[in-house]
Amino acid sequence: MIGEITLRARAKINLTMDVLARRSDGYHDVDTVMHSVGLCDDVRVRAAPGARIRVYSDKRYIPSDMRNTAARAADAFLRRNGIADTAVTVTITKRIPAGAGLGGGSADAAAALFALNELSGRGLSVGELADIGAEVGSDVPFCVYGGAARATGRGDVLQTLPTLPPCEIVIVKPAFSVSTAEAYAALGGTKTTRRPDTEGLVAALDSGNLAEVARRVYNVFEDALPLRSRREIDAIKSRLLDFGAYGASMSGSGSAVFALYGCGGGARAAYDALRREYGDCFLAVER
């Protein structure tokens, strides 16, 4: 297998995020609605004779070894397809911030799977790639499919949903990041006072009603944040709502916050204001 290909890896947001019982395999059952957004990494995959998988990135904090989700995805693809004597180099240009709940690592892994599928000529289906991705991480199957889906089980059981109606999304990541493992541990010691109305949100997506979708965005991980972090998340949400957002919530296990706006609403003004305060601030347009 020889060649090189570059693909875009799209981030995701969690319109709802609910965590249920702990499973016997150590994961938790979840019930979440995920949606792809236009914030992307660039993932270049090169295959050549050899036997090593390496990852390079323009960000120093990205692991270059098998701790990297894209590296594990490449290894899983090669093993599943019986491909030997192949060196894989993955080069990631990062735009999706880490520790943000935006699925950057999972998106990079999904892009690596698509690239290797094309370079190898194996012609695996999207479902087969998602099955390989499930070995690597709970969010990888969704990132393989993209679009919008309700995810249950440990996040790998997907029900395809209609995507958001035309809208604009502002995403803001505060200075602090969140470890997913630490977030789940903190949630286990927290009494959850509210659950998202996932059924209502799914119905709103079915009807294409953006305001009703936004009214139901909610994330139980917000209850488990340390007080200082919770206050900052609440402050960001308040600022976004002040610019006319229909709704705002934290994504995944945190720490990024997203807000949904109608097209031509206050999203641009919110983005222009908050990007002066936060280095990681993004505007995505969904059509």
The pLDDT of residue 189 is above 90: no
- pLDDT score, position 133: 97
Per the omega criterion (within 30 degrees of 0), is the bond before 179 cis? Answer: no
- pLDDT score, position 279: 86
The pLDDT of residue 247 is above 80: yes
Q: Pick the range with the lowest mean pLDDT from 5-14, 20-29, 91-100, 151-160.
A: 20-29
Active-site annotation, residues = 12, 139
What's the mean pLDDT when you consider all of the chain? 95
Q: Read off the CATH number of the domain in which 197 is found.
A: 3.30.70.890
Tell me: do 59 and 83 sit in the same domain: yes
Count of domains for the chain = 2
Tell me: do 266 and 181 sit in the same domain: yes
Tell me: do 15 and 122 sit in the same domain: yes
- pLDDT score, position 287: 87
- Structural domain boundaries, residue 135: 3-160
For residues 172 and 257, the answer to whether their CB atoms sit within 8 Å is yes
Tell me: do 180 and 143 sit in the same domain: no
Determine the Cα–Cα distance for residues 196 and 20; give it in Å rounded to an integer.
12
160, 193, 227 - which closes a domain: 160
Contacts of 216 (CB under 8 A, 6+ apart): 15, 16, 196, 197, 198, 200, 201, 204, 247
Tell me: do 154 and 193 sit in the same domain: no
- 4 beta partners: 46
Tell me: do 39 and 153 sit in the same domain: yes
The pLDDT of residue 191 is above 80: no
Between the CA of residue 152 and those of 18, 28, 119, 283, what are the distances in Å? Answer: 10, 10, 32, 28
> Can you tell me whether residue 74 is helix, strand or coil?
helix
